[in-house]
Amino acid sequence: MAPSAVARYGVIDLLPSSPPSPDAGAPQDQIRSASGRPARLIDTTMLYAPRSGGVRRYLNAKRSWLAENRPGVRHTLVVPGPRDAHDGHGRVSIYAAPLPFGDGYRWPIGKTSWMERLIRQRPDVIEAGDPYTPGLAALKAGAALGVPVVGFCHTDLGALAALHIGEWAEKPVQKRWAAIYRQFDQAVAPSHFIAGRLIEAGVRDAIGLPLGVDVDTFHPMRGDRAALRQRLGLTDRHRILVFAGRPAREKKLDVLVDAVERLGEPYVLLLIGAGAGARASDRVICMDYQRDPEALAAVLAGCDAFVHANDNEPFGLIVLEALACGLPVVGVAAGGVAESVDEQVGVLAQASEGGVFAEAVEALFARDMAALSRAARLRAETRHGWTPVFERLTEIYGRLSGARAFLGEAAAAAASH
C-alpha cells in the first residue's frame, strides 16, 4: 500500500541494517488492564498521510468501529506530521520531514523519540503498521513496557525492492523484513497472499485477515451516470474504466493505458489520483485525488468497471470499495486482488500485460453487466463487512494482552469461565 517514494526509501533503509535485539519481554499472558479502566490501544505507522489510501481508511474504520462496539477501549493514532501535536481526539503527530516526491508522506528518523512517545501513552497493545521507524520503535516500546505488539504487514517489501532497486535486492530485503516481523507477538496481513509471503520468509504464525469495506458509504445509489458523463465530457455510449490510487510504479498504470488504447472506442480510462504516474493519452482522463470517501464513491458508482493491473497488490481495499459500488472488476490472477475477484464479479487477466488485459476487459463487457453489478454489490455486503474483521482483530488483542475490554460481551463471558 505504500507509494513509490515510501517503497524506495523503505527498502533502502532495510538493506544495510541488522534486526534490533528486543529486550527480555514481560510475560504476555499477564493481564495488562485492570477491570476498572479502559484498555489502551495504539496504532502507529508512517503510512498515514493526507492523501494515503487503504491504510488510512482501515485505521479510520477501526477507530469508528471501536468507538461504537468497544467503549472500554481507548484508541490512539501515533503518526508523522508537520509538527509535534495532539489533536485532542486521539491522534498524536510527531514531526517528520516530508519525503521528496512523496505525495504528502513523511519519513520519521528518530526511533528513540518515537519510542518515548509510545511509552508515554501507556498502551496495553500496540499495532505497528510498518517495519520502518514507527514499527521498530513499537517493538522497543513494547519490550520496555512488557506489552504485546502486533505487526500489521501492509506491504511486500521484497517485491517492492525487486521493482524499485533490482532483483538482487529482493532476497536481502525479504530476509530483513521477515526478521522484523518475527519479533512481533503476532504478524497479521491484509490478505492470504501476503500472509503466505511472510510464512515463506519464516514468519510462521502470520495470519491472513482480509480487510472490509463500508457498504453504506460505498453504495451504487451514490452514482449518477449521466452527471458523471456530462462532467467528463462523455456520452452515454462511452464505457468508463476506472482506477483510483496513487501514481506508484507498482500499480502498473502503463498496462492500463496500453489496454485502453488497444480497446479504442468506446472505452475510456478514468484515473483518480493516479494521473501523475501515467503517460498522456487521448483515451485517459485524470481526476484529482478524492479525499472524501463519499465523493470517491459517487465517482466510482457512476463508472462501468474497475480495473487494477498490479499483480503483486497486497490486498487492494479500493477493489472492495468498487465492488460495494456495484462495479465489476478486471484484475490480474495474482496477488491480493485475486482473493476478492472471481468470475462471479469480474474477470482476471492471466498476465499484467496490455494486450492480455484488453482481452479481459472485452470478455467482461461481453457478459451481462447488470447481473455482474448486482453480484458485485452482494459480494461486498455478504463477505466483506468490517465487523468480522475487527471482531477477529480485537480477539487477537485480547488474547495477547489479557485485557477483557477488547472482547465482545460473549467472548468476555466465555473468557471468565
- With 0-12 CB in 10 A as exposed, 13-18 as middle and 19+ as buried, what is 369? middle
- The whole-number pLDDT of residue 173 equals 86
In angstroms, the CA 248 to CA 99 distance is 14
- The whole-number pLDDT of residue 25 equals 36
Domains of the chain: residue spans and CATH: 14-212+386-415 (3.40.50.2000), 220-383 (3.40.50.2000)
Residue 113 has pLDDT above 50, yes or no: yes
Q: How many helices (H) and strands (E) does the chain have?
A: 16, 16
The cell numbers describing 76, all together, are 490512539
Higher pLDDT, 4 or 398: 398
In angstroms, the CA 66 to CA 73 distance is 7
For 351-386, how does the pLDDT look when each residue is reduced to its tens digit (9 = 90+)? 999 999 999 999 999 999 999 999 999 999 999 999
State the residue for C-alpha cell 504487514: 153
- The whole-number pLDDT of residue 27 equals 38
For 218-227, how does the pLDDT look when each residue is reduced to its tens digit (9 = 90+)? 999 999 999 9
- The whole-number pLDDT of residue 280 equals 84
Q: State the angle between helix axes of 317-324 and 54-69 in degrees (0 to 180), rounded to the nearest 10.
A: 70
- The whole-number pLDDT of residue 413 equals 56
In angstroms, the CA 105 to CA 48 distance is 7
- The whole-number pLDDT of residue 30 equals 40
For 217-263, how does the pLDDT look when each residue is reduced to its tens digit (9 = 90+)? 999 999 999 999 999 999 999 999 999 988 888 889 999 999 999 99
**Chain centre to alpha carbon of residue 334:** 17
- The whole-number pLDDT of residue 416 equals 60
- The whole-number pLDDT of residue 274 equals 86
Looking at every residue in the chain, the average pLDDT score rounds to: 88
- The whole-number pLDDT of residue 110 equals 86
- The whole-number pLDDT of residue 161 equals 74
Q: Provide, rounded to the nearest whole percent, the portion of the chain with pLDDT above 90.
A: 70
Cβ(235)–Cβ(247) below 8 Å: no
Residue 12 has pLDDT above 70, yes or no: no
| SS3 per-residue string spanning 225-239 | HHHHHHHHCCCCCCE
In angstroms, the CA 330 to CA 360 distance is 7
In angstroms, the CA 105 to CA 174 distance is 23
Assessment of whether the complete model's pTM goes beyond 0.75: yes
Peptide bond into 266 cis (omega under 30): yes
Higher pLDDT, 280 or 393: 393
- The whole-number pLDDT of residue 415 equals 59
For 29-42, how does the pLDDT look when each residue is reduced to its tens digit (9 = 90+)? 344 444 446 899 99
Q: Among 88-92, 114-118, 132-136, 303-307, where is mean pLDDT lowest?
A: 88-92
The cell numbers describing 314, all together, are 497486497
In angstroms, the CA 199 to CA 204 distance is 5
Cβ(401)–Cβ(120) below 8 Å: no
Q: What is the largest CA-CA distance in the chain?
A: 66
Positive/negative CA dihedral, 155, 157, 162, 164: positive
Higher pLDDT, 176 or 26: 176
Higher pLDDT, 101 or 306: 306
Residue 66 has pLDDT above 70, yes or no: yes
Listed residue (189, 191, 193, 161) closest to 175, CA to CA: 161
In angstroms, the CA 359 to CA 349 distance is 8
Listed residue (399, 298, 290, 382) closest to 345, CA to CA: 382
Q: Among 58-72, 112-126, 148-162, where is mean pLDDT lowest?
A: 148-162
- The whole-number pLDDT of residue 26 equals 36
Residue 13 has pLDDT above 60, yes or no: no
In angstroms, the CA 379 to CA 387 distance is 15
Residue 1 has pLDDT above 80, yes or no: no
Higher pLDDT, 156 or 288: 288
Residue 346: strand pairing partners: 329
